[in-house]
Structure 1
Amino acid sequence: MIKRELYMKRIRPFIGSDLVKVMTGIRRCGKSVMLELIKDELKASGVDSSQFISINFEDMRYTYLQTAQALHDEITKLASSIDGKVYLFFDEIQEVTDWEKCINSLRITLDCDVYITGSNAKLLSGELATYLGGRYVEFIIYPFSFAEFLELYHLTAPDESISSCFQKYLVSGGMPYLSNLRYAEEPSIQYLTDLFNSVQLKDIVKRNKVRDVDLLERITAYIMSNIGTPFSASSLVKFLKNEKRSVSADTILNYLKYCCDAYLFYQVKRQDLQGKQLLSSNEKYYIADHGIREAVFGGNMRDINLILENIIYMELLRRGYTVTVGKEGNKEVDFVCDKRGERLYIQVTYLLASPETIQREFGVYDNIRDNFPKYVVSLDEFDMSRNGIKHRNIRDFLLEDSWA
């Protein structure tokens, strides 16, 4: 179990506070491990494990607790026998009906410290805003970064170079459980395929009462094949019409939202860098874990330019950036990244293999006159920085502590 310090340093200041700590993210991305890491921190600070109450609501043994009243009664009973503060850990809390009411009541009636996880972005919408408004902090947990993958993969293959480890990362992705399979190809593909099916069934179809599963499957396949490629709902309507499926743009947008709510895909809007406004059409979508794409759709090495973009985009989210696609005249910057007044521009390509490619990738910055850092990242081994624009090898870039 690796320490995932990127997340722990954000969570640590809130440990012991009366705010509810909420960890969300795609199924199996490591949220349960985060709960264990928090328990380790508490025990190291002198808290006795007898003060912990932990429930994973995907465990059939706790099915009888999947209503707010039943859970409230059980926790109140268990807490009555604990001296001092009670530490509550609830995994996949969305399985509990009206869980918000239960958590709010426990927070009021008990001396407790609450940690919950869930696999849906809508966990923190609707009634929760009423019951816990201003009394929670959210942390989105993502699959392993390349640095985290490297740490675990080296336990399996200690003599592998960083370059060959990155080759493995390109096809395996960062879902934590793969380390238990020692990253063996066939078991990894089977696991990731089953994970994708579970997300699709439990977090998209079941939660949103999707009736047309065939349509959903066609849409997810289209998105995976076009990762990082701008498109509109109307273009997808035309594509599906060619496949003899008649569907409205509104239905497509709803299905895409369901996928994003389940943290399977992330939508990236386009921004006009001159007008400083968000554009309403032709968004891009990236997948939470590119290993899932390889297992379900295939072709990561064939589409390596798209996969490199996906990897950089997810790393930006891990590091807390808000990301848009930048439009400057007829040119586009892959990523415009903002974090508390700090801005970066990043252009991603496979290789700077010709003068035309070099001009295209560096030339997107010609009319951007501000002094924020501008990067071109690729798999090239030689530094081709020029005109104040920094060039980085993508492996080195992902392993750097800071890009400012």
Structure 2
Amino acid sequence: MPAWENAVNAFRAEFNCDIYVTGSNSYMLSSEYATYLAGRYAEIKMLPLSFAEFLDFQDFEIQETEIPLGGIRKLIFDRNGRQYQSRELFDVYMGYGGMPGICDSELSEEKALIILEGIYSAAVLREILEREKRPGQQQITDPTLLRKIVAFLAGSIGSGISVSSIGKALTGSGLYKNTVTKGSPGVHIPPSRIPSAHTVQSYVRALLEAYLFYEIKRFDLKGKEYLRSPGKYYIADLGLRNCLVGFRDRDRGHALENVVYFELLRRGYDVAVGKADNAEIDFAAVRDGDRIYVQVTESMLGEDVRWRELAPLQGIRDNYAKIVLSLDPGLYSDYGGIKSLSIIDWLLGAVSPA
């Protein structure tokens, strides 16, 4: 609707009221719109449901009970009083994601996929492909290229990705078909069929503006500055990812990272990938001057895995909290001051810090 901001300002001036304006992309409150409403609005960014909110939306009740050896265990019951294991409900959350509409699916995979496909189509077709109608925005004119970039990012969450690597991967995947030059034994790739770095960058930026993906930068913990090395991308909802690339377990560790990243955002942290010399920490998160270092892994049961996850944290010589989150934290909860915690308990607020 043209000049909607004028109507909002008129209502604000005429009535003693609060006005809530909702939208699903960052463009709405950017550029000239921000000047029309400057000083009169507060932006509240919403995320899909957390695991705890997911359980609440599904009418599950969480009850706490004391463990004989000390500590608290959370028991989960449905509306009929049936008890469920937190792990099996977490698997459902990992599969279907946290879009509130999933609550209408009755946790049926077929119904959930229909809902997720509808959300994806609305987000891509309405918010991104129609972006070309907005003045000052580069046109998104190739739906096929857009879908391929979405699928590539969705399948590569938690991995270091550069714009150039996306273009090369798409070319190598067969999106841009090689054609044999007549009379030549070699293979010729028409330049017009290879996406330029500028084109890929504009498409990725559109996906970020639509809040479908979030980018996380690398931060040098010693130099106290952000690095130019490739960052990582995480998708706003794992259900959408599974809808796009299928359900798979081979990169479950990165999927767990995705869940932890957004939980840290919900809890008010500024999050970066921590870099210290040659070691990398999954997340270095800062809130109100306090910092926490977080490693995420599927299990801490294997000795090699424990060494891999603990070594980067052991190399950090400050006194901020350091934790490893996993589905199987093992028998020991403390490794020289580094906490090994259940990711499910952490998500449900049963353990500290953060």
Q: Shorter-normalised TM-score: what interval? A: 0.7 to 0.9
1:5-43 alpha-carbon deviations (Å, 9 max, x no partner): xxxxxxxxxxxxxxxxxxxxxxxxxxxxxxxxxxxxxxx
The yes-or-no answer on 1:395 pairing with 2:344 is yes
- Residue equivalent to 1:247: 195
- Residue equivalent to 1:234: 164
Letter in 1 for 2:57: L
Query: Is the 2:329–2:340 Cα contact (8 Å) retained in structure 1?
Result: no
Letter in 2 for 1:196: Y
Counterpart CA distance in 2 for 1:377 and 1:239 is 31
Q: How many residues align?
A: 309
Give the secondary-structure state (helix, strand or coil) at the position aligned to 1:118.
Answer: coil
Structure 1 unaligned segments of length 5 or more: list them. 1-95
Query: Is the 1:266–1:285 Cα contact (8 Å) retained in structure 2?
Result: yes
Give the secondary-structure state (helix, strand or coil) at the position aligned to 1:114.
Answer: coil
Give the secondary-structure state (helix, strand or coil) at the position aligned to 2:215.
Answer: strand
Question: Alignment partner for residue 162 of structure 1, among 83, 86, 103?
Answer: 86
Give the secondary-structure state (helix, strand or coil) at the position aligned to 1:391.
Answer: strand
- Residue equivalent to 1:129: 34
Query: Is the 2:284–2:291 Cα contact (8 Å) retained in structure 1?
Result: yes
Counterpart CA distance in 1 for 2:83 and 2:314 is 43
Counterpart CA distance in 2 for 1:159 and 1:367 is 42
Letter in 2 for 1:234: S
Letter in 2 for 1:183: L
Counterpart CA distance in 2 for 1:304 and 1:376 is 16
Counterpart CA distance in 2 for 1:119 and 1:129 is 16
The yes-or-no answer on 1:196 pairing with 2:112 is no
Question: Alignment partner for residue 20 of structure 2, among 115, 118, 122?
Answer: 115
Counterpart CA distance in 2 for 1:238 and 1:247 is 9
Question: Alignment partner for residue 313 of structure 2, among 345, 354, 365?
Answer: 365
The structural deviation recorded for 1:381 is: 4.7
The yes-or-no answer on 1:175 pairing with 2:95 is no
Letter in 2 for 1:147: A
Structure 2 unaligned segments of length 5 or more: list them. 61-77, 133-138, 177-192
TM-score normalised by L of structure 2: 0.83
Give the secondary-structure state (helix, strand or coil) at the position aligned to 1:254.
Answer: helix
The structural deviation recorded for 1:129 is: 2.2
Letter in 1 for 2:308: R
Counterpart CA distance in 2 for 1:354 and 1:102 is 61
Question: Alignment partner for residue 149 of structure 1, among 39, 47, 54?
Answer: 54
Give the secondary-structure state (helix, strand or coil) at the position aligned to 1:306.
Answer: helix
The structural deviation recorded for 1:113 is: 1.6
Equivalent residues in 2 for 1:195-234, closer than 5 Å: 195-208=119-132, 209-234=139-164
When the two chains are superposed, the root-mean-square deviation of aligned CA atoms in Å is: 1.6
Give the secondary-structure state (helix, strand or coil) at the position aligned to 1:112.
Answer: coil
- Residue equivalent to 2:183: none
Give the secondary-structure state (helix, strand or coil) at the position aligned to 2:160.
Answer: coil
Counterpart CA distance in 1 for 2:322 and 2:263 is 16
The structural deviation recorded for 1:392 is: 0.5
Counterpart CA distance in 2 for 1:308 and 1:196 is 21
1:145-169 alpha-carbon deviations (Å, 9 max, x no partner): 0101122333478422111111111
Bigger mean CA deviation after superposition, 146-155 or 258-267: 146-155
1:348-403 alpha-carbon deviations (Å, 9 max, x no partner): 01112321211110111122111111110011153442011111011011111752
Counterpart CA distance in 2 for 1:201 and 1:137 is 28
Letter in 1 for 2:141: R
Query: Is the 2:300–2:329 Cα contact (8 Å) retained in structure 1?
Result: no
Query: Is the 1:300–1:307 Cα contact (8 Å) retained in structure 2?
Result: no
Letter in 1 for 2:102: L
1:254-286 alpha-carbon deviations (Å, 9 max, x no partner): 111111111100010111111111112311000
- Residue equivalent to 1:345: 293
The yes-or-no answer on 1:386 pairing with 2:316 is no
Counterpart CA distance in 2 for 1:264 and 1:300 is 20
Letter in 1 for 2:145: L
Letter in 1 for 2:49: F
Letter in 2 for 1:224: A
TM-score normalised by L of structure 1: 0.73
Counterpart CA distance in 2 for 1:168 and 1:122 is 33
Counterpart CA distance in 2 for 1:111 and 1:168 is 45
Letter in 2 for 1:173: G
- Residue equivalent to 2:186: none
1:75-128 alpha-carbon deviations (Å, 9 max, x no partner): xxxxxxxxxxxxxxxxxxxxx222222212322233222111111112221112
Equivalent residues in 2 for 1:314-329, closer than 5 Å: 314-329=262-277
Letter in 2 for 1:366: Q
Q: Which has the higher helix share?
A: 1
Counterpart CA distance in 1 for 2:263 and 2:247 is 21
- Residue equivalent to 1:30: none
Structure 1 residues 318 and 371, CA, compared in 2 at 3 Å: closer, same or farther? same
The structural deviation recorded for 1:253 is: 1.2
